[in-house]
Amino acid sequence: MFVDQPVGTGFSYADYGEFVDTTEDAAQDIVAFMVLFFENFPSFKNRALHMAGESYGGRYIPLFSAAIWDQNAQLVARGLTPVNLTSAMIGNGLTDPYTMTPSYYDMTCTPASVPPVLDINTCVRMKQALPLCEKWLKESCLDHLDHMACAAAEQFCETELMAPIESIDINPHDISKPCGSKELICYPIVQEITKYLDNPDTRSMLGVDPAASQNFQDCNLDVMFTFLRNGDRQRPSHEYVAALLERGVRVLVYVGDFDWVCNWIGNERWTLALEWSGHGEFRAEKLRDWEVDGEIAGKTRSAEGFTFATITGAGHMAPYDKPKQSLALIQRWMAGAAL
């Protein structure tokens, strides 16, 4: 099941122009949708539900899953069937921005995935800017959320740590390749996908409501900037992951190892730092190879229902880059099998 959300993205729309501007608000829409879905299609009740999302889904999925879990108590009180939330899957996600921020230096100035792609002078400046970036983000975005100060901190960190990669012909979604077309996020196929989804026959096949008059966009900039203005991007979501794990909801974090945007170094850092009852067991696990058809597909560690996995040779759009390995990963996870 694919859901276009928040409202205003994809083919979703509101009758009277309603909108949401934070992930917390979007979570309430998802909860309402899930309740309506299961009540209108009762044959799906009690089936295992696996919540999944990629990229900004690292923010969405922990909060959406937590909201569904909390809603279950109210469903039971009303005599309705609770949602059988079984796991959450986060692909190349932005879950703990603060912990992940230093990884932009690692990915471009050390051989974390590929040889360093930036010149020495730039890397030295990035290294020097890191302490101030972390201090400013912590004070303005974490300890006390001041929207204007947090935005300024983000701007400084983006200028010093993220902008340098924009100055070279590298695909930030896959640093093993040149970009080619920044207008199409370095993937010309995006244009073909958009054209396909806008085709009247495709819209009819998907059952898109004629009231959704807007053209399909891979990203709704109005929605994006509204979320950014509210400081949504810098709000950490990892504590929701810990809370889900404590309640027996399994969590998978997978990352293509050539991605720079939401890279494996940053994702590994926050998973190792996550405070929960299985913290010790998870940290004690060493990274090991996982395989598909006898070939190494990536690295993984797992303990107490929490799994971190890389996908070798994949970028930000891991299933696009490595479809066989990504499919095997998800199938094994949903079946409850070890990688």
Is 127 in contact with 109 (CB distance < 8 Å)? yes
Q: Which of 29, 106, 174, 259 is catalytic?
A: 259
Quick check: is 50 catalytic? Answer: no
Is 186 in contact with 271 (CB distance < 8 Å)? no
Q: Using alpha carbons, select from 295, 299, 276 the residue that is nearest to residue 286.
A: 299
- Please name the residue that has the structure tokens 């990504």: 326
Q: Which of 55, 65, 237, 326 is catalytic?
A: 55
CA 82 to chain centre: 26
- Beta pairing class for 295-303 and 306-311: antiparallel
How far apart are alpha carbons 157 and 136 in whole angstroms?
A: 9
Quick check: is 174 catalytic? Answer: no
First and final C-alpha spacing in the chain: 24
The CA-CA-CA angle for residues 137, 138, 140, to 5°, reads 65
Cis-peptide, bond into residue 102, ω within 30° of zero: no
Q: Which of 232, 302, 316, 326 is catalytic?
A: 316
Q: Using alpha carbons, select from 173, 198, 211 the residue that is nearest to residue 321.
A: 173
| Residue 201 identity | D
Is 202 in contact with 215 (CB distance < 8 Å)? no
Quick check: is 55 catalytic? Answer: yes
Burial pattern 13-27, b for ≥16 Cβ within 10 A else e, equals beeeeeebbbbeebb
| Side-chain half-sphere exposure of 20, counting CA atoms within 13 A | 16
- Bridge partners of 303, per DSSP, are 306
Active-site amino acid positions: 55, 259, 316
